[in-house]
């Protein structure tokens, strides 16, 4: 597609797919030999509208937490994982009009958060079955959340915008809790007050757009 935006393209591909189950990959993820057949077998044996598998990082400095038990998980348990590794029943998504917000994510003015919003919408309808099987490996480079070469003003504004959509009236509180626990994400010397101010601007704009 010529239109910009991860969310726009994912929705388009979902509408054009004919598969029973679909998953959304980052461009640095890959199957190991034989894993695809194993995943297909697991999906057939565990018929559920959304099934999550583990993803393993090739970067020792950026390990991904592995879930080791078969269990159903909700939005809170998925906040660190995004949608990668989750296989969704395509018809269930279509029947319930579950889509990525096309105004959110890379390629838009709000540069992240599309996965969290999608998972939040999905878990309004059902919990997600988590299996300990590994589905993909990921060749992660240095995290964009820890580097100095990024637009922190846009990033913190986007955080606020997303938090209003996720938490509504609790958005300011959740924003402050995020900053208190994640200041290590930001370059040394970054002021928490400046970040919180930008997040509040994002919350205000999101409220205006989505009231």
Domain that holds residue 24: 6-138
Question: 184 and 89 in one domain?
Answer: no
Domain boundary among 138, 164, 187: 138
Question: 120 and 182 in one domain?
Answer: no
Question: 76 and 47 in one domain?
Answer: yes
Cα separation, 76 vs 123, in Å, equals 10
Question: In this structure, is residue 174 part of a structural domain?
Answer: yes
Report the pLDDT value the prediction gives residue 28, as an integer from 0 to 100: 87
Q: What is the CATH number of the domain that holds 100?
A: 3.90.550.10
Report the pLDDT value the prediction gives residue 143, as an integer from 0 to 100: 56
Domain boundary among 104, 138, 172: 138
The rounded average pLDDT for each run of 10 residues, N- to C-terminus, in the chain (211 residues) is 83 95 90 90 93 90 86 86 91 97 92 93 94 90 61 92 96 95 88 96 95 77
Question: 170 and 133 in one domain?
Answer: no
Question: 52 and 12 in one domain?
Answer: yes
Question: In this structure, is residue 112 part of a structural domain?
Answer: yes
Cβ proximity of 132 and 39 under 8 Å: no
At residue 69, the 3 state secondary structure works out as coil
Question: 200 and 170 in one domain?
Answer: yes
Report the pLDDT value the prediction gives residue 84, as an integer from 0 to 100: 86
Question: 99 and 75 in one domain?
Answer: yes
Question: 162 and 122 in one domain?
Answer: no
- Helix (H) or strand (E) holding 180, with range, is helix 171-182
Question: CA dist 38 to 32, 53, 66, 204, Å?
Answer: 11, 11, 18, 46
Question: 117 and 41 in one domain?
Answer: yes
Question: 117 and 49 in one domain?
Answer: yes
Domain boundary among 108, 138, 168: 138
Cα separation, 36 vs 63, in Å, equals 22
Cα separation, 80 vs 89, in Å, equals 22
Question: In this structure, is residue 147 part of a structural domain?
Answer: no
Domain total of the chain: 2
Quote the distance between the C-alpha of residue 88 and its chain's center: 14
Cα separation, 99 vs 31, in Å, equals 25
Question: CA dist 163 to 126, 160, 168, Å?
Answer: 21, 5, 7
Question: Is the overall model pTM greater than 0.75, yes or no?
Answer: yes
């Amino acid at each position: 597609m010529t239109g910009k935006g991860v969310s726009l393209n994912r929705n388009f591909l979902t509408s054009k797919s004919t598969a029973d189950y679909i998953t959304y990959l980052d461009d640095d993820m890959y199957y190991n030999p034989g894993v695809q057949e194993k995943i297909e077998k697991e999906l057939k044996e565990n018929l559920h509208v959304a099934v999550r598998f583990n993803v393993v990082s090739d970067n020792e400095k950026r390990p991904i937490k592995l879930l080791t038990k078969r269990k159903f998980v909700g939005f809170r348990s998925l906040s660190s994982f995004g949608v990668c590794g989750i296989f969704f029943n395509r018809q269930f998504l279509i029947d319930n009009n579950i889509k990525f917000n096309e105004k959110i994510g890379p390629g838009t003015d709000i540069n992240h958060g599309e996965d969290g919003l999608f998972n939040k919408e999905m878990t309004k309808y059902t919990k997600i079955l988590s299996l300990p099987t590994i589905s993909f490996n990921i060749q992660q480079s240095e995290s964009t959340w820890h580097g100095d070469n990024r637009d922190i003003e846009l990033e913190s504004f986007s955080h606020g915008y997303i938090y209003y959509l996720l938490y509504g009236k609790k958005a300011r509180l959740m924003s402050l809790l995020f900053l208190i626990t994640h200041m290590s994400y930001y370059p040394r010397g970054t002021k928490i007050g400046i970040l919180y101010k930008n997040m509040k601007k994002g919350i205000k704009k999101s409220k205006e757009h989505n009231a």
